[in-house]
């Protein structure tokens, strides 16, 4: 369903208009409840169709290395950190408990965050990227106030994550993941 036809929009508008007129001209409690339920169902269906038609927009802040995915109902922010030059055969899982402990302490104080571990292996002869990504999501509320608060929270999450990774892996260099890598991780590893 790539496009929602104009006939379908016309049908939804006609049903909404009929229920609205019935609600206005028939002052019965049962008809009022039925009409309101019908109007609500149609509006929910329209909202769900719109979310399927309008894909999430992706915005990038290259200065802060943050990727934002803004949809109709929610906004998500992502920041990733890489472990650079990981030797083959090294066990990363033991020290990861230190990172998990630091991040769980952070998320106990402010809920709504997620921590993800990723391994990104390109099809070319480039090196494998290993790291962790923090994310936050919220309802998409118009205005910049919520986005600004989410940005501050994700920057604090990234700062705590980077510090925990440096403490857990002192022999490895921790670096900010480039925005392109973060975007490809969000796409499931596919490059465009």
Given 38, 53, 68, which residue is the final one in a domain?
53
Which range, of 37-46, 61-70, 163-172, 182-191, averages the lowest pLDDT?
182-191
Residues 6+ apart with CB under 8 A from 79: 64, 65, 66, 67, 133, 134, 135, 154, 155, 157, 158, 161, 176, 177, 182
Question: Looking at the domain assignment, is residue 160 inside a domain?
Answer: yes
Asked if pLDDT for residue 38 goes beyond 60, the answer is yes
**Contact by Cβ (8 Å): 182, 129:** no
Residue 128's Cβ-side half-sphere holds a number of Cα atoms within 13 Å equal to: 7
Burial of 173 (0-12, 13-18, 19+ CB in 10 A): exposed
Q: Which residue has the higher pLDDT, 156 or 34?
A: 156
Residues with Cβ within 8 Å of 95's Cβ and at least 6 positions away in sequence, in order, are 168, 169
Same structural domain for residues 18 and 66?
Answer: no
Instruction: Flag whether pLDDT at 143 surpasses 70.
Output: no
Compute the half-sphere exposure of residue 60: CA atoms within 13 Å on the CB side of its CA: 12
pLDDT surpassing 70 at residue 142:
no
Which two three-digit tokens encode residue 157?
């999450």
- 94 and 123, same domain (yes or no): yes
Residue 120 burial (CB count, 10 A): 19
* Inside any domain, residue 100: yes
What pLDDT is recorded for position 99?
A: 86
Specify the pLDDT at position 4. Answer: 52
Q: Are residues 100 and 161 in the same domain?
A: yes
HSE at residue 10, side-chain half, CA atoms within 13 A, is: 3
Residue 191 belongs to a domain:
no
CATH number where 94 lies: 3.30.70.1130
41: Cα within 13 Å, side-chain hemisphere: 8
Do 47 and 118 belong to one domain?
Answer: no
- The answer to whether position 1 is within a domain reads no
Q: Are residues 149 and 177 in the same domain?
A: yes
The answer as to whether 12 is a domain residue is yes
pLDDT number for residue 118: 84
Sign of CA dihedral 32, 36, 39, 41: negative
State the total domains in the chain. 2
Residues 19 and 81 in one domain: no
Same-domain status, 44 and 61: no
Q: Are residues 32 and 82 in the same domain?
A: no
Q: Are residues 180 and 151 in the same domain?
A: yes
Q: What's the pLDDT score for residue 64?
A: 82
Whole-model pTM above 0.95? no
Q: How confident is the model at residue 141 (pLDDT cuts 50, 70, 90)?
A: low
Q: Which phi and psi (to 5°) does residue 91 adopt?
A: -90, 110
Residue 192 lies in a domain: no
Q: Is residue 146 part of a domain?
A: yes
Residues near 101 by beta carbon (within 8 Å), at least 6 away in sequence = 164
Q: Are residues 89 and 75 in the same domain?
A: yes
d(CA 22, CA 35): 7
Q: Tell me, yes or no, whether 102 and 163 share the same domain.
A: yes
d(CA 162, CA 106): 13
**Domain region containing 17:** 6-53
Whether 71 and 161 share a structural domain:
yes
What digits encode the pLDDT tens for the residues 42-98?
788 777 776 666 667 788 888 888 888 887 677 889 999 998 777 777 777 777 888
Residue 101: inside a domain: yes
């Amino acid at each position: 369903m790539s496009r929602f036809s104009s006939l379908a929009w016309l049908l939804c508008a006609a049903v909404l208009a009929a229920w609205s007129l019935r609600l206005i001209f028939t002052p019965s409690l049962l008809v009022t409840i039925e009409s309101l339920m019908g109007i609500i169902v149609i509006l929910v269906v329209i909202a769900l169709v719109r979310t399927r038609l309008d894909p999430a927009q992706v915005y990038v802040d290259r200065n802060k290395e943050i990727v934002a995915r803004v949809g109709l109902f929610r906004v998500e922010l992502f920041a990733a950190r890489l472990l650079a030059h990981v030797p083959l055969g090294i066990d990363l899982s033991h020290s990861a408990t230190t990172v998990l402990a630091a991040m769980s302490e952070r998320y106990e104080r402010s809920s709504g965050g997620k921590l993800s571990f990723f391994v990104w292996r390109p099809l070319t002869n480039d090196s494998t990227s290993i790291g962790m990504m923090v994310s936050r999501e919220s309802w998409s509320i118009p205005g910049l106030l919520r986005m600004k608060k989410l940005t501050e929270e994700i920057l604090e999450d990234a700062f705590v994550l980077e510090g925990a990774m440096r403490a857990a892996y002192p022999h490895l260099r921790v670096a900010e993941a480039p925005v392109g890598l973060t975007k490809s991780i969000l796409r499931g590893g596919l490059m465009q």
